Amino acid sequence: MEHSHDHNHRIHKHNVEGKNLVISILLNVLITLAQVVGGIISGSLALISDALHNFSDVLSLVFSYVAHKLSRRKASISQTFGYKRAELIAAFVNAFTLVLVAIYLIYEAVLRFFEPTEIASGIVIWLALLGIVANGISVLLLKKDADHNLNMKSAYLHLLTDMMASVAVLVGGLLMKFFQIYWIDSVMTLIIAVYLIVVGIDLLIKSTKMLMLFTPEHIDIKEIVREVHKIPGVNKLHHIHVWHLNEEELHLEAHLDCSDDIRMSEFNNLLHLLEEVLYEKFGINHVNIQPEFHKEDPKDFIVQD
C-alpha cells in the first residue's frame, strides 16, 4: 500500500498552553471551597449548585489537562497513533458530566421552588462576585486555545457557564437582598441548568461524531470523487473513508483504480497531485491510498469492510 508522508508539514498545530489549565484549576478549587461554605451558611441552593458545578469543573479541568499531556506523547510500536484521541475522550466525558450536573440542578431547583427559604443574600452576592472574577480570568486564559482544540473548548465552556452561573447568582442575590424575592434562587438555578444542557449536548454530539469516525460535516465525499477524477491517470477513487484522528489531523484512505498500468515512480507523481487536490480543496492532510489496476473488487464509493 502506498502511503505518503510529505503531508506532515501541512498539519498546522496551535500550541495549547497547558499552564493556563493549571491556573484555571487552582482558581476553581478556590471558588468551590468558598461557595460550599457560603452556600451552607447562607442557605442558598443557587450558590450550592454553582459550587457543585464548579467542583465538576475542577474534575473536568484535571481530566482535560491529563488528556492534553497524553496527546503530546509520541507514537510507539504498541500505540501507533500515540494518545492523539485522548483529548476527544476528555471532551466527551466533560460534555456528559455537564448534562448530568444540569439534570441534578433541575431536580433540586424544582424541589426548592415549592419550598422557598430565607437566604443570607449578602454572602451570596460577595461569593457570586468572586466567581465572576475568578472564572472570568480562566475564560480569558483559555479563549484562544478553545478556538483550536475541542478538549480546550470543553474546558472553556465549563468555565464560561460557571461565569454565567455566577452572574445569575449575583442577580438573584441582589433581588433577594432588596426585594426579598427568595424564589428567584430556584429560577436562576433552572436557567443555569438549561444552558448547561444546551452547550453540553452540542459538545457531546461533536465529540461523539469524531470518536465514531463519522465523515466530518464539511466534507462531501461525492465532491472529493469529482475533483480526484479530474486528475489525468485516475480511473476511479473508491472504498473511501474520511475521518478526524483528532482536530488537527483529517485522514483519508481509499482505493485508487488507475487508468493505465503505470510504474511506481509514475504513481508517486499521480499521488502527489492527488494529495495537493485533497489538501487545497478539502483540508485533508493525511492520505493513504491503495493503488489498483483493473482489480476485481467493489468499486462503490463506500464499501462495508
Q: Is the pTM of this model over 0.85?
A: no
Full set of structural domains in the chain with CATH: 8-211 (1.20.1510.10), 215-292 (3.30.70.1350)
Residue carrying the nine cell digits 439534570: 103
How far is 51 from 38, CA to CA, in rounded Å?
9
How far is 60 from 11, CA to CA, in rounded Å?
27
Strand order through the sheet with 234-244: 2-3, 286-292, 250-258, 234-244
Instruction: Report the 10 Å Cβ neighbour count for 125.
Output: 19
Which SS3 state, helix, strand or coil, does residue 82 take?
Answer: coil
Region for residue 303 given its phi and psi (left: phi exceeds 0; alpha: psi -120 to 50; beta: otherwise) = beta
Q: In b/e form, how buried is each residue of 147-180, taking b as 16+ CB within 10 angstroms?
A: eebbbbbbbbbbbbbbbbbbbbbbbbbbbbeeee
How far is 169 from 185, CA to CA, in rounded Å?
7
How far is 14 from 68, CA to CA, in rounded Å?
13
> Which residues, in sequence order, are bridge partners of residue 299?
none
pLDDT tens, position by position, for the chain (305 residues)? 444 444 444 554 545 556 777 888 888 888 888 878 877 787 766 667 667 767 777 877 787 788 878 878 888 898 888 888 887 888 888 888 878 878 887 887 788 777 766 667 788 788 888 888 888 888 888 877 777 677 777 778 778 877 877 787 788 788 878 887 777 777 877 887 887 788 789 889 988 999 999 999 999 999 999 999 999 999 999 999 999 988 778 999 999 999 999 999 999 999 999 999 999 999 999 999 999 999 998 889 888 76
